[in-house]
Structure 1
């Protein structure tokens, strides 16, 4: 076989490889059809390097969590006293310490937590105190799954950290329930949400592209007028979703604002230190050839 024949054979092989690669890449969108819609922006005040939490919004978000979400979702890492820490929804600059905050004492007393009677050793329920954790609505994960069709509701303590674009994702998911598109096969205990991650290719028999999103076992938890606000804010699904998303974002990182302020102070210090270092360098080595 001559050199010219070898070159022609190699060219044909490369063309076949390129064609196969092109067909493979063209097939990928079909295999990855669907996907979730990008979360909508909630316009949260705490976003960005200088953002801070709106205390009123955090208070409303806690109310939505306590009256709606807490019936299914736990926040096992959250203590009642944390609500009164600096930057928290019920922080009071005049308080002695978070555990003595008068608002938190009242809020904790509204909740029952399990305990053990010190005299009889029997399990009892008592009013919570600021030092207690948020109680779980179920005894364990098995009980939670059994009460919710086999899917245990996730803990919300760090949910905003566990999801990309946390607060915006939670806001979009809670306010984004829609009727399933025609041609989408959906189970009796499932709900369609375009912001839920998933691939609906195998469930789609309609025309056009596979719809974005996925199935979620949680029915729409919010409805207009469900929670009463004392500050006159709109009592709508959209507002509820924003407020509880902000609260969950704060609960996932209660020290966020303090970290931002500390980081800004460090950057200012480093900038000034760099300036002093440069001036010192110029003065010490002035006139010295190097």
Structure 2
């Protein structure tokens, strides 16, 4: 099959491992669950069903970040690949009247069947799945169930990957994380099964597209992936990483040290007032805050050509 040649598909689990290990901050549960589930699925020549990952957590905790790295590690053209589809519910399925829902159902059916027919190792990402109309969830249901190809429906969907992104369960994740913290349990030692159960209950009961959905009560989601709230130390790490990207490419130098700049940005980030401080927006607003800080900084001098070349060598 043409699409499954090396030209189209990378299936580079080592690359995914390096990307997540080096760039995903404060999410040991998500790192382990995503890496192992993707690895086992793409290496299985005869999976029983499609892989369905439901990523849950607050804003800026890394859900879109992880989805992007999965896609870029598996496909040479990332989201530009013709075997990947990204749907943002508020953009792509924004109307809820009968006529539009009918159009959306036809579009989803056509997309999933045509893309999978061309390449069994297709990936479909649904952002804001909690806002998805239930009629459209029913369309997806068939493709993620336990089905083998038949003469009437010969397309094999068992090698596909479906990734759902949702803020549902964010409050439940925070409560369980705080409970673990009070028990002096380290993040990397949190019981993943506890979070799986909490998220399954939240997705089924909280208001939204997944509420009472058949894909939950029929146990069609392979894993619920929790994205933990980020503490001050994690936000500092996000700022440092983004700042380094700026400094490596900026042709100017500044009076303020890196630590001073990081502290300035931290002072602009909103944290909860509980005993364990969590960032309200995760790492989402860091780039904007850095832009704001740099707008007020006066460069001391322009870097020499050699300094710029040295910085480029570090990239």
TM-score tier by shorter-chain length is under 0.3
Q: Which has the higher helix share?
A: 2
- Structure-1-length-normalised TM-score: 0.26
Q: Which has the higher strand share?
A: 2
- Structure-2-length-normalised TM-score: 0.25
